[in-house]
Chains A and B, each alone.
Chain A
Amino acid sequence: METAILRDTMHTLSDTHAPEGEAAPMTAKIEARQTNVHYGDKHALKDVSLDIREGEVTSFIGPSGCGKSTFLRCLNRMNDTIDGCRVSGTVMMDGEDIYDPKIDVVQLRARVGMVFQKPNPFPKSIYDNIAYGPRIHGLAANKDELDEIVLTSLEKAGLLAEVKDRMEAPGTGLSGGQQQRLCIARAIAVSPEVILMDEPCSALDPIATAKIEELIDELRENFTIVIVTHSMQQAARVSQRTAFFHLGELIEVGDTEQIFTNPKHKLTQGYITGRFG
């Protein structure tokens, strides 16, 4: 069973993974150094140093409660909204410390979008769900431009064909998979540079999951993507780099192929072969 998964995985990898030396951009978009997170007295993330490369999909894997979501939320300062949560260390994006007091979190979050585990469309129409971000950031000068943004975002999220006749219907009336793609379209609409996804497929069936994975692969061209997942196959299918977390520590990070075929750390090996976790 395990070996079957791995073989499957490697097969997919050889299909999707860009060969070394090709125009794959290697600059780090985000550099986290010595990042620590405390929730009250709980030390949830310990000295994590990690680079997120531009134009690639990075996946975070690890057992439940190991701090994947916590680290992800450090990258767009969503931890600020949690009472009693303290972040220390530095997180640099394009050479700027995002925890610098000079940085405006509203602008930061416009640059770093996020998609959540459970689809959370606003209780508004499909159109307004997408248009909300561009509106608050003043990205459209007039109604036509806004329409344009909404349509292209839906198009990129692969949802346009399904909803173009019902733009005024409530977003909450869509199916789970459609809602999740709506949330992705909503995130795309503000033209972020990075999109963070926290288990975006965990509430979806295999077909909807396949659609989202396909979408992630396409989005890689324009965005830097970080995805948290519990599915090893998913990590292998969609990501170029994988980071393994355990008990709040970053154990190992490397090319996805290397992590799944030749993990250096025995904790990683144990986890991907399903011995624990």
Chain B
Amino acid sequence: MPFSFLLLVLAGLSVIAYRFGVSRARAVAPGRQAVLHSRPMYHGLYVAIWCGIPALLVAVAWVAMQPILVKGLVMGGLPDAYDALPKARLDLIWNDIRNLALGDVVRADPAPEIQAAAETFRRLYTIGNAALTVLCLIAAPLAARYAVRHVSIDLRARNRVEAAITVFLVASSLVAIFTTVGIVLSLLFESLRFFAKVPVLDFLFGLHWSPQTALRADQVGSSGSFGAVPLFSGTLLISLISMLVAVPVGLMSAIYMSEYAHRKFRAVAKPLLEVLAGIPTVVYGFFAALTVAPFIRRAGEAMGLSVASESALAAGLVMGVMIIPFVSSISDDVINAVPQAMRDGAYALGATKSETIRNVVVPAALPGIVGGVLLAVSRAIGETMIVVMAAGLSANLSFNPLDAVTTVTVQIVTLLTGDQEFDSAKTLAAFALGLVLFCVTLGLNVFALHVVRKYREQYE
């Protein structure tokens, strides 16, 4: 029975177990439900959990163990001559066996002992799966029977079910936490491996980036140099351009929305603005590459400037548009959180509306706005798709917005696409860049959230 089908059957059995539990609970206290410690539903759930969970755990453990056991048995069954082979060679053979067994395309006419091994492999899997099915189909009803026997007036089924639910919730959140921790650790370790090949200081302060390393020892001209400063400066330049677009536009539109706009207009315009945030970044990307960049190039030429066809300006402008809704919706929130009393105070002194906004509302909201802008900055720094499509690949150390520059995210993408050994300096450099990116955006986020939270407290 395939594994997914087994899961379905287990679920079905649990439903049946639930019914048994409920009716059992009714039976032990006929007509006097009030004397039951827990409502029948909880007894049902209690039995269902006993039915489903242990069998599920067994199945998962089995599925995790089976490949290891099978590999050991199959490889052990090969003729003794194979034992002496190097590990890499054995891995290849193991691959052949598996492919053969699973019916994938393999090299023509494999050796007879390989064919035999594949046959063993297939047989072992069949046996294993069958055994698992039988085991589950016996274990589940047995456990359910055990639980049904326990159903009695005093059984604290509700507490047990609640405890089981808590365990389940804890497990779910642990999955999220451990995944994050795992990602960070892998970033860290791979970066350390990179820094074993390239000194940290060369990486952080080197001015020259050309990650082409020699594939073969006899290749020339591609020694590889990993000075990341041009990437940092490119990222900075593009983020700066995008913030120059997003902050004024976002802030002004937030002020208009929260202070001037009629309620009806606001009801329409605000969701429309937020649609901007819903556009997939890849769409922005080709908009930048196919529309904005050529336009800037032509405009630049008309003015007699030389503009790279993948200019930082194009990517930055489009990224700025993408970020407008972040700035405007956070600013709108914080401006709305400024108490009306503050505005009334200014109006009562005879301040006009724009004076009130400039001198009272915006200064009062400033910490929150700054927080929102910082969040937007970290968004801009981590943005990938637009720059991959619209910014260049050449790592120029330039602050001219008309030049092509490249960013950290673009380089990560180019480092990892293409044929490279996994542990070459080139691939590992991507992890080091990722680590830098992670540290910067994490720092920005933590700081920005702190600022925003402090601001909120001020008026609550």
Contacts and interface: CB of A to CB of B under 8 A. Distances in A.
A133 to B, nearest CB: 4
B263 A116 contact: no
A107 B350 contact: yes
B341 A109 contact: no
Contacts of B359: 122, 132, 136
Interface string A120-160: 11111000000011001100000000000000000000000
Interface size class of A (residues with CB under 8 A): 20 to 34
A151 to B, nearest CB: 18
A192 B223 CA distance: 79
Contacts of A110: 349-350
A205 interface: no
Contacts of B364: 122-123
Interface string A96-114: 0000000001111110011
B358 to A, nearest CB: 10
Contact of B347 (A81, A122, A183): A81
B39 interface: no
B350 A187 contact: no
B350 A124 contact: no
Contacts of A133: 349-351
B344 A187 contact: no
B352 interface: yes
B360 interface: yes
B349 A136 contact: yes
Contacts of B342: 120, 122-123
B346 A187 contact: no
Contacts of B347: 78, 81, 109
A83 B263 contact: yes
B300 interface: no
A74 interface: no
Nearest to B339: A120
A183 B344 CA distance: 12
Contact of A116 (B341, B351, B355): B341
B248 interface: no
A190 to B, nearest CB: 6
B252 to A, nearest CB: 21
B320 to A, nearest CB: 30
Interface in B331-353: 339, 341-352
A109 B349 contact: yes
A190 B346 contact: no
A136 B345 contact: no
A1 to B, nearest CB: 35
A230 interface: no
B199 interface: no
Given A132-B359, A136-B355, A120 B349 contact: no
B295 to A, nearest CB: 42
A78 to B, nearest CB: 6
A106 B341 contact: no
Given A120-B339, A132-B349, A78 B355 contact: no
Nearest to A107: B350
Given A83-B263, A123-B363, A78 B349 contact: no
Nearest to A190: B349
A183 B345 contact: yes
Given A83-B263, A114-B348, A136-B351, A122 B343 contact: no
Nearest to A104: B350
Interface string B351-380: 110010001100110000000000000000
Given A136-B350, A137-B350, A120 B345 contact: yes
A118 B341 contact: yes
Contacts of A124: 363
A122 B345 contact: yes
B348 A78 contact: yes
A148 B234 CA distance: 53
Nearest to A113: B348
A133 B351 CA distance: 8
Nearest to A129: B345
A186 B359 CA distance: 15
Given A106-B350, A107-B350, A81 B345 contact: no
A106 B263 contact: no
A224 interface: no
Nearest to A109: B350
Contacts of A183: 345
A76 interface: yes
Contacts of A123: 342, 363-364
A109 B348 contact: yes
B341 A122 contact: no
A190 B341 contact: no
A93 to B, nearest CB: 14
B348 A76 contact: yes
Nearest to B366: A123
A119 to B, nearest CB: 9
A120 B344 contact: yes
B341 to A, nearest CB: 4
B356 to A, nearest CB: 9
Interface centre among B346, B350, B360 (most CB of A within 10 A): B350
Interface string B208-232: 0000000000000000000000000
Given A83-B263, A136-B359, 15 more contacts: A78-B344, A81-B344, A81-B347, A105-B350, A106-B352, A120-B342, A122-B345, A122-B346, A124-B363, A132-B349, A132-B351, A133-B350, A136-B355, A187-B348, A190-B349
6 contacts: A105-B350, A122-B346, A122-B360, A133-B351, A136-B349, A186-B345
- The list of the 4 closest CB pairs from A to B, nearest first, reads A114-B348, A109-B350, A110-B350, A120-B341
